[in-house]
Chains A and B, each alone.
Chain A
Amino acid sequence: GENVEQHPSTLSVQEGDSAVIKCTYSDSASNYFPWYKQELGKRPQLIIDIRSNVGEKKDQRIAVTLNKTAKHFSLHITETQPEDSAVYFCAASPRWNTGNQFYFGTGTSLTVIP
């Protein structure tokens, strides 16, 4: 089955700096890669996603890049703000997946220091 690894597990940045979170996956059949943000005590919510036919996607201060050859994808947050502080999860979804499951990384706790 699919295996997703996520690094780093914790990340602290100064407000205004950039943050990068990286994930690797094992199954070349994965074709969908969402990123979720979970604030303390809240549910995970999608912030950006990318499909395997696209190399990069951007939404304001957030971008995701995908390297299918190397089987890794990354989340980039620019001009970080205190409200970006949260836990971020990456996931991969293989197209063979009869259960349509997501395979989640273990999460990155991001702290933005004002």
Chain B
Amino acid sequence: NAGVTQTPKFQVLKTGQSMTLQCAQDMNHNSMYWYRQDPGMGLRLIYYSASEGTTDKGEVPNGYNVSRLNKREFSLRLESAAPSQTSVYFCASRETSGAPYEQYFGPGTRLTVT
């Protein structure tokens, strides 16, 4: 099992450009999440998908959109990148049937917006 994978690993964008961060999991998990991590600020939830076909806003959704393409894949789109979106982005997934379980994180995407 590859677990949770993310592409790309690194990206540099100019202000106003758009891009999509890809995330996939092979653990058949129901729920998937996108976080951003800034220095000293911990993990902040951007969007989540509790199950295939549903998405909801988290703590910091402005400037982002998401698509739950199928059970495996959950993408994050920046329509018009801003320097404030410079961050490390983590995707995560979690099994949600039965007992509470951990979230598994992807390796992260380091995004710089100039």
Contacts and interface: CB of A to CB of B under 8 A. Distances in A.
A89 interface: yes
Given A43-B107, A99-B31, A89 B43 contact: yes
B33 A101 contact: yes
Contacts of B85: none
A3 to B, nearest CB: 12
A104 B41 CA distance: 10
Interface stretch (A12-20, A45-53, A55-63, A70-78): A45-53
B33 A89 contact: no
Given A43-B108, A99-B48, A106 B41 contact: yes
Chain B interface size, under 10 / 10 to 19 / 20 to 34 / 35 or more: 20 to 34
**Interface residues of B, dominant DSSP:** loop
Interface string B84-114: 0000001000101001111101111000000
B102 A46 contact: yes
B50 interface: yes
Contact of B58 (A32, A101, A106): A101
Nearest to B4: A43
10 contacts: A32-B100, A43-B90, A46-B103, A89-B43, A95-B100, A99-B50, A100-B31, A106-B40, A106-B41, A107-B42
